[in-house]
């Protein structure tokens, strides 16, 4: 099973700042089969990025994904008030597909 | 509007059973594999099970294998999860989710459409 480790656990930032979230896999994630989700309290997760760098439908271009192999990054260029949430990465390269433990982006 | 609506959650005693349902609308249900993903209170996400569009390929997480059974009725645009021998650690919100891509057979894909979730509580 591929274990995904996200860091930092919590990111304290102000609106307008940029955010960089990391996801490290315990083994290589082939075909860049990595996704990022955003979850707000009481809501279902929302797909942001799949295929490591493809934005999902309706996702603003301030969200971008990069990386390959074992190291992946989600970048939010300028935080909007609605971006403060928990972010999860997911690998779907090998079974079972697994999620990271999440990074909370909170208002500083 | 593309939508998934779960139902069937509730309180059940350890060892009991529960059947979750998910009604899909706004897209061609028969073109997509479907999944269940759960989230224990205050915890992260855990994939539970996947079923291909024609029900030919079914996958389970080790934690539920032999206890849970996924199925679908394409005529009714519905997905189901039958949960038997429930344990306290199965307590979670259960989400019905759709694969991003059509006709995936491997049980491996990102998830682009999520239902609102249904809460399952296993407690004596």
Inspect the interface and report whether the beta carbons of A92 and B115 lie closer than 8 Å: no
Dump pLDDT digits (tens) for B108-119: 999 999 999 999
| Minimum CA–CA partner of B35 in chain A | A97
Asked if A94 is an interface residue toward chain B (Cβ–Cβ < 8 A), one would say yes
Sign of CA dihedral A26, A29, A32, A34: negative
Q: Which of B44, B108, B116 has the CB atom closest to A44's CB atom?
A: B116
What is the per-residue pLDDT for A57?
Answer: 95
What is the per-residue pLDDT for A74?
Answer: 98
Residues of chain B in contact with residue A102, where contact means CB-CB under 8 angstroms, are 44
With cut-offs at 50, 70 and 90, classify the pLDDT of residue B106.
confident
What is the per-residue pLDDT for B123?
Answer: 97
Average pLDDT over residues B39-48: 97
Shortest CA gap B69–chain A (Å):
17
Shortest CA gap B59–chain A (Å):
9
C-beta of residue A29 within 8 angstroms of C-beta of residue A72: yes
Asked if B2 is an interface residue toward chain A (Cβ–Cβ < 8 A), one would say no
What is the per-residue pLDDT for A53?
Answer: 96
With cut-offs at 50, 70 and 90, classify the pLDDT of residue B1.
very high
One digit per residue, the tens of pLDDT, for chain A of length 108 reads 999 999 999 999 999 999 999 999 999 998 789 999 999 999 999 999 999 999 999 999 999 999 999 999 999 999 999 999 999 999 999 999 999 999 999 999
Shortest CA gap A52–chain B (Å):
10
What is the per-residue pLDDT for B86?
Answer: 98
What is the per-residue pLDDT for A30?
Answer: 84
Residue B104 has pLDDT above 90, yes or no: no
What is the per-residue pLDDT for B107?
Answer: 82
Average pLDDT over residues B32-54: 97
Average pLDDT over residues B52-81: 97
More confident of the two residues A8 and B107: A8
Alpha-carbon distance B29 to B12, whole Å? 30
Asked if B112 is an interface residue toward chain A (Cβ–Cβ < 8 A), one would say yes
Quick one: what percent of chain B has pLDDT higher than 70? Answer: 100
Least confident range from B5-9, B96-100, B101-105: namely B101-105
Per-residue tokens: A92: 């779907």
Q: Which long-range contacts (CB under 8 A, 24 or more apart) does B22-30 make?
A: B22/B78, B22/B79, B22/B80, B22/B96, B22/B115, B23/B77, B23/B78, B24/B77, B24/B78, B24/B79, B24/B96, B24/B98, B25/B1, B25/B77, B26/B1, B26/B2, B27/B2, B27/B98, B27/B113, B29/B74, B29/B77, B30/B54, B30/B74
């Amino acid at each position: 099973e591929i274990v995904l480790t996200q860091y930092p656990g919590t990111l304290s930032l102000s609106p307008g700042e940029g955010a960089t979230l990391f996801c490290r896999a315990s083994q290589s994630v082939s075909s860049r089969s990595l996704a990022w989700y955003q979850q707000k309290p009481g809501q279902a997760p929302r797909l942001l990025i799949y295929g490591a760098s493809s934005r999902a439908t309706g996702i603003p271009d301030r969200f971008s994904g990069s990386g390959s192999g074992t190291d992946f990054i989600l970048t939010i260029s300028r935080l909007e008030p609605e971006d403060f949430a928990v972010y999860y990465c997911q690998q779907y390269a090998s079974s079972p597909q697994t999620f990271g433990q999440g990074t909370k982006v909170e208002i500083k | 509007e593309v939508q998934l609506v779960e139902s069937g959650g509730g309180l059940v005693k350890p060892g009991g059973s529960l059947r979750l349902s998910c009604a899909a609308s706004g897209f061609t249900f028969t073109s997509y594999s479907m999944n269940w993903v759960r989230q224990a209170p205050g915890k992260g996400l855990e994939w539970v099970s996947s079923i291909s569009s024609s029900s030919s390929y079914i996958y389970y997480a080790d934690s539920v294998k032999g206890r849970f059974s996924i199925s679908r009725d394409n005529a009714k645009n519905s997905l189901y999860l039958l949960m038997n021998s429930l344990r306290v650690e199965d307590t979670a919100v259960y989400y019905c989710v759709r694969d991003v891509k059509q006709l995936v057979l491997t049980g491996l894909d990102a998830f682009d459409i999520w239902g609102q979730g249904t809460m399952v509580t296993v407690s004596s």
